[in-house]
Amino acid sequence: MTSVLLDRDGDVLVVTISRPEVRNAIDRTTADALVAAFGDFDADATLSTAVLTGAGGGFCAGADLRAVGMRTEEEGDAPLGVSRMLLGKPVIAAVEGHAVAGGLELALWCDLRVAAMGAVFGVYCRRFGVPLMDGGTIRLPRLVGQGCALDMILTGRPVDAEEALRIGLANRLVPTGDALPASLTLAHELAALPQTCLRSDRMSVHEQWSLSTADALLNETRRGLAVIASGETAQGAERFARGDGRHGTPIP
């Protein structure tokens, strides 16, 4: 049986880590399967958004410390596979149960996080001397600020869903059991929007971290001009002129 399950819902791909017997901990085979799944997703022009989730009521407990052969190289894929990949399309984490240690890092790799009320986040690997090597020390402070990030990273304490929402770690909070359906709804909402502009603005957000302010503004301008040149902006202006989407209403 594969440890990564794929399910297509229209133009949305659902990627499920399926090792519930070890709380969806990632071994080398699973890491490789995640790389393959998201690489194929990024290359598939018929898919717009992906959802990453876990089987059995949990998201992911991080690296499987009992497994042999986890990556520790400086180059190439990250220990958990996907954490060094920058995709051209958004990924949403549907978090039920624990997203801890490397599982937290996988959730941070996603663009948005929909957390169920029973979700728990934390750097649980702190207790065992296992370092964060899948972007946790980078993405967490960028997302919640250095103070909150260091509180989590140094103590390894659990952070419940309500606190996660309050500090900006979670984007949506839903009843237990609803993380996946809520994420699918959100994914389809994103997929229904003009994709050239959405993906360009998203990529500008990711790219600006390594740029000076002046270079980031130039990059944003260049990307914006490319979107306008694509014709998508003119099409949107025509829809607006017809009255579609005014006052935040959905566009047919």
- pLDDT of 70 reads 67
Beta bridge partners of 60: 99
Q: What is the CATH number of domain 4-192?
A: 3.90.226.10
- Report the candidate in 95, 96, 98, 144 with the shortest Cα–Cα distance to residue 121: 98
Higher pLDDT, 241 or 100: 100
Listed in order, strand segments (DSSP E) in the chain are 4-9, 12-17, 49-54, 91-95, 98-100, 112-116, 120-122, 159-160, 172-174
- pLDDT of 66 reads 86
Question: Could you state, in order of their start, the residue ranges of all structural domains in the chain?
Answer: 4-192, 195-242
Tens of pLDDT, residue by residue over 187-244, are 999 999 999 999 999 999 999 999 999 999 999 999 999 999 999 999 999 988 888 8
Say whether pLDDT at 9 is over 90: yes
Tens of pLDDT, residue by residue over 131-146, are 999 999 999 999 999 9
Query: For residues 200 and 224, is the Cβ–Cβ distance under 8 A?
Result: yes
Q: What CATH fold (topology level) applies to the domain 195-242?
A: Helix Hairpins (1.10.287)
